[in-house]
Structure formats: C-alpha cells, structure tokens
Amino acid sequence: MAKITLSEDKKLQLIDKIQKYFERELDYDLGQFDADFLLDFISQEFGAVYYNQGLHDARTIIEQKIELIGESIYEIEQPET
C-alpha cells in the first residue's frame, strides 16, 4: 500500500477538527503543532484499517453489480433451436 498523503489544505482542515474536538469534548487547548503530530500518528497507525475497509466495501459493491449484470445477461439469453 502506498503511504497515505493528504493535501496541505485537507491536512489543515483535519488539524482544525482535532483541535475543535479537544476543546469541545476535553476542554483542552491543543496547539496546532501537537494536533499535527496527532494527525500523523492517527494516519500512520489507523489509516490502513480505514483504507482496507473502504476497499472491502468497494469490492462488495462491485461483486453485487457484477452479479446483477450476470442475471441481466441470463434474462436476455435466447433459446437455441
């Protein structure tokens, strides 16, 4: 798996969300530097879990669609004489 990389804009958005969460839920003022390190840790340690779940979900949807296509093809099959 390739390393998960985020655009600078997306990373700043996530850092802001982490900071707001800490303030709202924990009544703790987490600085941007610490929030950045926390985001890197979460991405490194948990990112693959979420990535793999996304792949699993996508695979399930594709398998369902392929089954529907197979059924549709079977329905239009012509009898052989």
pLDDT of residue 5: 85
The Cα 43–Cα 4 span in angstroms is 7
In tens, the pLDDT along 40-77 reads 999 999 999 999 999 999 999 999 999 999 999 999 99
**Residue 36 counted as domain residue:** yes
pTM of the model: 0.74
The Cα 27–Cα 33 span in angstroms is 18
Residue 28: give the domain boundaries: 8-76
pLDDT of residue 1: 61
**Residue 2 counted as domain residue:** no
**Residue 55 counted as domain residue:** yes
For the chain, how many structural domains are there in total?
1
**Residue 34 counted as domain residue:** yes
**Residue 58 counted as domain residue:** yes
Number of H helices, E strands in the chain: 2, 0
